[in-house]
Amino acid sequence: MGKEYYDAFTMHPSMAMTAMSIGAATPVGAVAVDQINTDTVFPTLLIVYPHSSLKVATKIVKSSATGTDAPTITTIDSTTWAGAEPHEVIPTRCSVRIANATQRFQQGGVVRTLRATTGQSLPVTNAAFQDICDRIKTNDRVRVKDGAEMKDQKQLNAVVIDGTRANGFAKFGNEYDVNPDDPTINVGGDLALKAGIQGNDLELYQPAMSPIYILFEPFNVVQQYEFTIRAHYLCHYPSGTLLNNMAVRLPANPIALNTKRDKEEAKGSNLLNVKDGILGEMSALSTRMGPKVAGMAKSYYKGAVTAAEAYEAYGPIGLLA
């Protein structure tokens, strides 16, 4: 992937900027590590999105073949916030790395990825969930890989799709403060969030950053996918607390931010190889360093290639294994 602005794995939370000045805020990174065992009969959908809560992703799978039954929805939370929940947050980055950990000779199936440009309400029936899956499959921006291609770790980054919401703090927690005079939420005389969209699910319906959809089609062998989600936030903590005192003023530069956003958006919905990005950075570095140290750079680059190939074949080795 390389060290890109929207790469939450290589950039630090403090290396962020906003389109408008927001004052002082505390940069925080949240992480979730989990796995998905795909169904052999029904599709499985992973939606990655940085919510203003513990949740960073949602997994959905059909509960049965009956369309009126409710699908099985599982929340994937980050434990990073334990004991340090902020008052309100702005998401700045969100990236997912994923790989097929199934035994090599059993790897198969189809994986579809889509970096969405619009929001989505969570389905309440299996039929509604199937409709979401069908719309993902027919989207012109969707990209397709087979399970064997996923043996190497892949990555996809979210980008800003609503600059207004990307500069506004959202209350951290499961519920929002609601304006009862807003006609879009006052349904049938009863106070509701967007006609029944509850809590921070409203964020997925009106996203600031692009939700990432990863759709796993059913295969006759269960596929095990390991994934890591990393999200960055700018946070407000209660005055006088330690984390509030760690707040910093971040630069506001709309021109530079739009340039970085356009560069990331140009990659589309493709899952890119993490290894290729690392090696590409080493190659570019060896070119920029000039002839004086070209030999050292070349040696370092070869070492990176060897290390990446060893990681692919054997996983982490050495003192950190």
Residue-wise pLDDT for 163-172, tens only, equals 888 999 988 8
How would residue 87 be classed by pLDDT, with cut points 50, 70 and 90?
A: very high
Q: Tokens standing for 89?
A: 């947050």
> How far apart are alpha carbons 276 and 311 in whole angstroms?
13
What pLDDT is stored for residue 273 in this prediction? 92
The 3-state DSSP class for residue 224 equals strand
Residue 211, pLDDT above cutoff 50: yes
Q: What is the mean pLDDT of residues 25-31?
A: 96
Residue that has been written with the tokens 């929001």 in this structure: 119
Pairing relation of β-strands 170-171 and 186-187? unpaired
Express as a percent the part of the chain with pLDDT over 70.
76
Q: Residue 193's pLDDT is what?
A: 59
pLDDT of 183 > 80? The answer is: no
More confident residue, 182 or 60: 60
Size of the chain, expressed as the number of residues it contains: 321
pLDDT tens per residue, range 90-143: 999 999 999 999 999 999 999 999 999 999 889 999 999 999 999 999 999 999
Written as one string, the DSSP assignment of 70-89 is: PPEEEEEE-STTTT---SEE
State the pLDDT confidence band at 189, using cuts at 50, 70 and 90.
Answer: low
Confidence of residue 214 (pLDDT cuts 50, 70, 90): very high
Q: pTM score > 0.95 for this model?
A: no
Instruction: Give how far Cα 296 sits from Cα of 168, 275, 300, Å.
Output: 47, 21, 6
- State how far the Cα of 79 lies from the Cα of 57, in Å rounded to an integer: 13
pLDDT number for residue 68: 95
Cα 300 to Cα 199, 283, 295, distances in angstroms: 50, 10, 9
Closest CA to 12 of 212, 208, 233: 233
- Condensed to tens digits (0 to 9), the pLDDT of residues 243-296 reads 999 999 999 999 999 999 999 999 999 999 997 654 444 444 444 455 555 555
Q: What is the DSSP string of 226-276?
A: EEEEEEEEEEE--TTSHHHHT-EEPPB-HHHHHHHHHHHHTTTT--EEHHH
Report how far apart, in Å, the C-alpha atoms of 230 and of each of 10, 48, 304 are: 10, 10, 24
Residue 202 pLDDT grade (very low, low, confident, very high; cuts 50, 70, 90):
confident
Q: Domains of the chain (ranges plus CATH)?
A: 24-272 (2.60.120.20)
Lowest mean pLDDT among 47-51, 81-85, 298-302: 298-302
Asked whether the beta carbons of 141 and 89 are under 8 A apart, the reply is no
